[in-house]
Amino acid sequence: MLFLRISSLLIIYTVTSVLSEVSQPKVCIDNGCILGKYYTSQKGNEYEAFLGVPYAKPPVGELRFKNPQPVEPWTADYDASFERSKCVQKNDLWIDQKVEGDEDCLYINLYKPKQAKREKLAVMVYIHGGGYFSGSASKGEFGPDRFMDTEEVILIVMQYRLGVFGFLSTGDHAATGNFGLKDQNAVLRWVRQNIDRFGGDPELVTLFGQSAGGASVQMQMMSPLSKGLFARAWSLSGSALGFWTKPNENPLKFAREQTLAVGIESAADMTSEELVEALRQVDAKVLGQSIDKLKFWHVFPLTPYRPVVEQFVDEETFISGDQRDLWTRGEYLQVPWVTSFVPNEGAFASLALIVNQTLLDRLNENAGSYLTRLLGCPDNEKSKQLLKERFFSDGSEDSWITQANAHKIQDIMSEAFITFPIAQGVQQHIALDNPSKARIDVRYFNFAGRYSHSKYFAKDDGKFGVCHSDDLIYLFRAAGLFSDFELDSEEYAMAEKLVEDYVRFAYDGLKTNNCQDSSCSILEYSNSKDSEKPYKLNDIEGFDEAMIKFWTEFYTC
């Protein structure tokens, strides 16, 4: 009897242990084994999530302002069932934000379908946006459900260092800069080394990102460190050629300004090594908050920290030339590349001004000087006059902005920040005299649904059209920001089509070349009145040439 009881207990223990093991997906890589978590998509399909997987050592203490370092191996199973902290940041894209996050933030979230349709899956690696100063890999913003429902891809969403932590540079070996971009590259190297253990194909990696993430995609295309790490690229609503990504010409001077901003009065007399060491001793939250002292008005300039041209060149150098020159000369990976944009790209920078009368009045008092300065052309009389004539011709010299033309601020921000540099990059690629240049394509997302990021940019329920980041609502399940679309809704139909197109690109690249002979046929996604198919696809011919001509002249400043 006692034997039977012991045997029964052993059986129960064994069954319980087996169930416990299978209740969590487990994958072993060179560094150790990882325990994930099962989730169920909105459509009821199970997928595996490995959350907060480290790809580099925590960049804290002496590793602050240094290139990412390899992770140390671990012995016990690593718990990847929960998300880790976002990187230290102050999100000036949303109103009234405080400093949040942690320096220990170099993690990825990896998702794979439980039942896969292929033996080896294409891999899609996503770089979040946020102007190089904000953003995270949060599952509540970048939920993988729709990609997982295809059962055809592995999705990876990364975090990388931001702001001063990711982009401080002294212009020499003390702080080479571009740490955030090097973090992104470290993720790609991690994928190359480990993704086959998850059932992914290391030869079929698509790098895609939005806003600063879209610009980062191009930056990775231009870095010699990226060679062989991805096969496809997609930049959403972002370009590395924009004025807001223009390399700082005097990074050491700016590093001194940063040091003064945290109250270190002797910055002017310090060597670059002393500057960096002093900044390593500053509390992370204090350092993150100090960005406010580097703005000339409101939240502008939005991107004081950005990529730099590295002067100290070694085998870890991310980029040693101005990206605008490199792109013009075609010195980038020739992989199939898609770039896409939406109508109101400038919403992230303009809506907070338009809905706030105090800010709008202050801008109006200083329209010429503020606008040219925040657009990267300070104190340029020619650029001031060009802006006045094109956007505010009905305003007076003393009061450019009127109730009738205030909406033009959205147009200015849309074109200058996003649409013009995208068009410029496309035209320069078309003009390349290179028989081996890759096929490229342009997409225009103009589908209006019930939700919009304008809710966060302006804290206003007004209708501002399809805004910057609104296409992401269809790619990802953003349950932390918006309620779910019903499965039979028009928005969900649009979402499934958009995700299908991304997955097809991940496998097939571009089968046709819609950009050639100095022009592009742009594929537009828009609303349809057909209840059976609530979206429609249209071909529109090229970019607005008048817009391109205007901003080309403007940026001769």
φ and ψ at residue 51, rounded to 5 degrees:
-100, 140
Note if 211 is an active site residue.
yes
The total number of residues written for the chain in this structure: 557
Closest CA to 30 of 53, 59, 63: 53
From 345, 415, 490, 491, the catalytic residue = 345
237: left (phi over 0), alpha (psi -120 to 50) or beta: left
Rounded-to-integer distance, Cα 485 and Cα 479, Å:
10
Closest CA to 308 of 432, 98, 166, 213: 166
From 128, 429, 453, 468, the catalytic residue = 468
Rounded-to-integer distance, Cα 142 and Cα 344, Å:
21
* Secondary structure tally for the chain: helices H, strands E: 19, 15
Rounded-to-integer distance, Cα 287 and Cα 187, Å:
25
From 211, 226, 414, 469, the catalytic residue = 211
Written as six digits, the tokens of 204 are 């079929």
Written as six digits, the tokens of 486 are 């019903």
Tokens 């010299």 correspond to what residue? 397
Written as six digits, the tokens of 386 are 């060009």
Rounded-to-integer distance, Cα 375 and Cα 362, Å:
17
Helix (H, G, I), strand (E, B) or coil at 236: strand
Rounded-to-integer distance, Cα 397 and Cα 518, Å:
38
Written as six digits, the tokens of 168 are 């401080």
CA atoms in the 13 A half-sphere facing the CB of 220: 34
Amino acid at 242: G
236: left (phi over 0), alpha (psi -120 to 50) or beta: beta
- Give the residue numbers marked as catalytic: 211, 345, 468
